Amino acid sequence: MGATGLLYVGAVLFLNGVMILGRVDPKAAAVFNLFVGALQVVTPTYLIFTAGGDADVILNASGIYLFGFTYLYVGITLLAGLDSTGVGWFSLFVAAAAVGYSFANFRLLDDTPFGVIWLYWAFLWFLFFLLLGLKLDGLNAYVGWVTAIEGIVTAAIPAFLILSGYWADWNQTALALTLGIFGVAMAVVLLPLTHPHAHAPVPAAERGRPA
């Protein structure tokens, strides 16, 4: 994925996470989704046309469309006030495709960190399917936090490190392992913290009762 585009993927994921948490107006977030969605359609098109037939470049670029179309779809859905089920079921397709791109990064492109990062994205887009496609509203807080955190961990930070030249200096196996451990820890730790009943007020009738 183009590092510049990846940086703005981080920004839009963070913004969308905050929106899901109810801190940003959906129509305000929609505009930025359209900006990033357009960028993520133009970028892979340019990369493919200038790839000179390089199969690895084309493979890498093709995955970017999954995100570009997602953000365009989200932006239009929010602005037009459409039902979210379309985005949700498309997200299921993206989640399945992301597993394939993870395999490609591990086995074909020899890029283990992004193999792990694609698994992060597969998990996140599956959560979008549950929240938007199946309407599991109890996941709102969980999905919001996962989205915002993944925006920073899987996109903004890697993009900055790639653009500044530091990404290649890291041991790629150690980096992939660190990302994997953090991802599992994030997914597990956030579950109890964002459970709908975790911060529910204690009913007045229950207060003062002995344990």
**Segments forming the whole domain that contains residue 155:** 3-198
Over residues 71-85, the mean pLDDT reads 97
Read off the pTM: 0.91
Beta-carbon-side half-sphere exposure of residue 31 (alpha carbons within 13 Å): 4
Residue 205 belongs to some domain of the structure: no
Position 1 scores a pLDDT of: 57
Q: Residue 194 above 60 pLDDT?
A: yes
Residue 191 belongs to some domain of the structure: yes
How sure is the predictor about 117, in pLDDT bands with cuts at 50, 70 and 90?
very high
Q: Residue 102 above 60 pLDDT?
A: yes
Q: For residues 75 and 16, is the Cβ–Cβ distance under 8 A?
A: no
Residue 211 belongs to some domain of the structure: no
Residue 210 belongs to some domain of the structure: no
Beta-carbon-side half-sphere exposure of residue 38 (alpha carbons within 13 Å): 7
Query: How many domains, the chain?
Result: 1
How sure is the predictor about 198, in pLDDT bands with cuts at 50, 70 and 90?
low
Q: For residues 71 and 105, is the Cβ–Cβ distance under 8 A?
A: no
Residue 203 belongs to some domain of the structure: no
How sure is the predictor about 20, in pLDDT bands with cuts at 50, 70 and 90?
very high
User: Closest Cα partner for 102 from 180, 7, 195?
Assistant: 180
Q: Residue 204 above 50 pLDDT?
A: no
